[in-house]
Structure 1
Amino acid sequence: MIPERNLMEACDINNKLHRKWVADITDMLEEGPGVVLRLEKIRKAIVGSPEPMLWYSKKRMELEMLYLESLKRTAEFRDVNDMLNNSDFVLNSIRFRLEEILIEVRQRTIQEGCSVHDLECISNAMLM
């Protein structure tokens, strides 16, 4: 924690409120990603229409796995001059599938009203 940004000190709160904040923050940290479900709008979106969230989650998982595999294969197949041998069939197949997934996500998001068309932006958003 950065001492200059200590909101608890700056607000001059009492001990009871301080303990409650510490307990709440500790609970949230222990809960991990599930803490997002505490946000009402996100919880309603997930409960109201789980199919888009499930579809996106599957696409993201596939994208992550393919991206990691491409990084691994790229590192394995560099030659002595640190040049990549582009004749690797598997690596080319992985790249092709990565692009297919991104195009599929772009098409679906456009249908749902999103205006992002750049595949690199979509890739960055999904892998962040």
Structure 2
Amino acid sequence: MQQLGLSDHQAARQVGARIVSQLGFAALQHVIAATRFFPEVPTLTELGIGGVELGNWFGIFAPASTPKSIISRLSVEVATALGAPEVKQRFQELGAETVVQDAETFRKTIADETKVVSKLIRERNIVAD
């Protein structure tokens, strides 16, 4: 799901306060958070906008010059922290799940989602006001 960079929990508060409007989910299927926070909101596919499947994710970035040994250590430590039962439980309470990706997979996720969003912006002539 993608809600202007907000977590589902944050987005629910913003939508509830009528600060933003929820138009649709950029996912093929309703996921846990969508069903919990926005059961009435369709997916973009259900709205006739296919090929837009995005996730709501958070990541840790480091300068390109960071040694691979440091990146590997960071990856292990973050994976360990995210694997802790209490952390997984808290994420679940917020309607999210913990998914750990190695640096290369995460890099590919960003590149793939950038292509999808860029194409959608071009095809739909989306502009910022």
Same fold (TM over 0.5): no
From the two aligned structures, give the one with the greater helix fraction: 1
| Structure possessing the higher radius of gyration over alpha carbons | 1
Question: Taking structure 2 as the reference length, what is the TM-score of the superposition?
Answer: 0.30
Question: Taking structure 1 as the reference length, what is the TM-score of the superposition?
Answer: 0.30
